[in-house]
């Protein structure tokens, strides 16, 4: 077992054990506040194009339909779901995916098959890597829901405009990635949850690609 895989397993097991009471409370709140299952399971594409079921806490009302992406002020998100999303608690079940070997802690976020089918040549290089709970693109473009708000077709806007930019950021990181850089990234992602993020690209708008280089 590689150092990175050993680290992933150790951290995932520790997080699931330490935060078990929080996860239990989250599951109870979801179940009592809205109809539907506790977990949202979605098919995502992993390394080599192999699909796997990705786990999250359910944060939306099950009866409402809409795009497969969440936009700012999305009416489908429940009151409990907003809290879980704000503190990223809805993502914690993915540590089970890490234990299974579907995902790693640091890596490009896995996409659904429909978006992968629209990958260009550059984006397809993402499939050379194990997808992660979070990657550099999460820091550079933290406000996806805000960027997609107001678009008549948010899925198209994401696939054609935002996804290529995210892919470029993640591919740059993967090319220079080290175990030390992963540790730094994990710390910065944790700080970003509490509102401090020096990497966020605040000049980016859909339809207008920034020319400034990403500071790292």
Domain ranges within the chain, ordered by starting residue: 3-193
Mean pLDDT is lowest, of 28-42, 105-119, 193-207, for 193-207
Q: In this predicted structure, what is the pLDDT of residue 198?
A: 81
Mean pLDDT over residues 30-55, rounded? 97
> Quick one: which of 104, 131, 120 has its CA closest to 168?
120
Beta bridge partners of 41: 55
Query: Per-residue pLDDT for 29 more than 90?
Result: yes
Q: In this predicted structure, what is the pLDDT of residue 125?
A: 97
Mean pLDDT over residues 112-118, rounded? 97
Q: Are 40 and 76 in contact (CB under 8 A)?
A: no
- In this prediction, what percent of the chain has a pLDDT beyond 90? 79
Alpha-carbon distance of 95 to 167, in angstroms, equals 22
Alpha-carbon distance of 128 to 106, in angstroms, equals 14
Q: Mean pLDDT, the chain, as a whole number?
A: 91
Query: Per-residue pLDDT for 204 more than 60?
Result: no
Mean pLDDT is lowest, of 27-41, 63-77, 110-124, for 63-77
Q: Are 114 and 91 in contact (CB under 8 A)?
A: no
Q: Are 43 and 129 in contact (CB under 8 A)?
A: no
DSSP letter for 161, please.
Answer: I
* Structure-derived torsion over alpha carbons of residues 186, 190, 196, 202, reported in degrees to the nearest 10: 60
Query: Per-residue pLDDT for 80 more than 90?
Result: yes
- Output Rg (C-alpha) for the chain, integer angstroms: 17
Q: Are 57 and 83 in contact (CB under 8 A)?
A: no
Note the pTM of the prediction, 2 decimals: 0.89
For strands 51-57 and 104-106, give the pairing. unpaired
Read off the pLDDT band of 215 (50, 70, 90): very low
Q: What's the length of the chain?
A: 216
Classify 51 as helix, strand or coil: strand
Q: In this predicted structure, what is the pLDDT of residue 65?
A: 78
Alpha-carbon distance of 54 to 40, in angstroms, equals 8
Residues 157-202: tens digit of each pLDDT: 999 999 999 999 999 999 999 999 999 999 999 999 998 888 887 5
């Amino acid at each position: 077992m590689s150092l990175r895989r050993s680290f992933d397993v150790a951290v995932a097991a520790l997080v699931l054990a330490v935060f078990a009471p929080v996860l239990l409370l989250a599951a109870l709140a979801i179940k009592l506040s809205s109809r539907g299952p506790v977990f949202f399971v979605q098919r995502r594409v992993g390394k080599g194009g192999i699909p796997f079921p990705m786990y999250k806490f359910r944060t939306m009302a099950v009866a409402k339909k809409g795009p497969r992406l969440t936009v700012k002020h999305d009416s489908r998100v429940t009151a409990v779901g907003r809290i879980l999303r704000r503190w990223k608690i809805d993502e914690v079940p993915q540590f089970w995916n890490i234990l299974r070997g579907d995902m790693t802690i640091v890596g490009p976020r896995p996409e659904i098959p429909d978006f992968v089918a629209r990958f260009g040549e550059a984006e397809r290089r993402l499939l050379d890597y194990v997808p992660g709970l979070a990657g550099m693109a999460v820091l550079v473009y933290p406000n996806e829901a805000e960027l997609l708000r107001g678009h008549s077709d948010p899925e198209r806007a994401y696939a054609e405009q935002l996804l290529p930019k995210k892919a470029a950021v993640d591919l740059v990181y993967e090319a220079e990635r080290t175990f030390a850089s992963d540790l730094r990234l994990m710390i910065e992602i944790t700080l970003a949850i509490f509102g401090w993020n020096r990497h966020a690209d605040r000049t980016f708008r859909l339809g207008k690609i920034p020319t400034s280089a990403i500071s790292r």
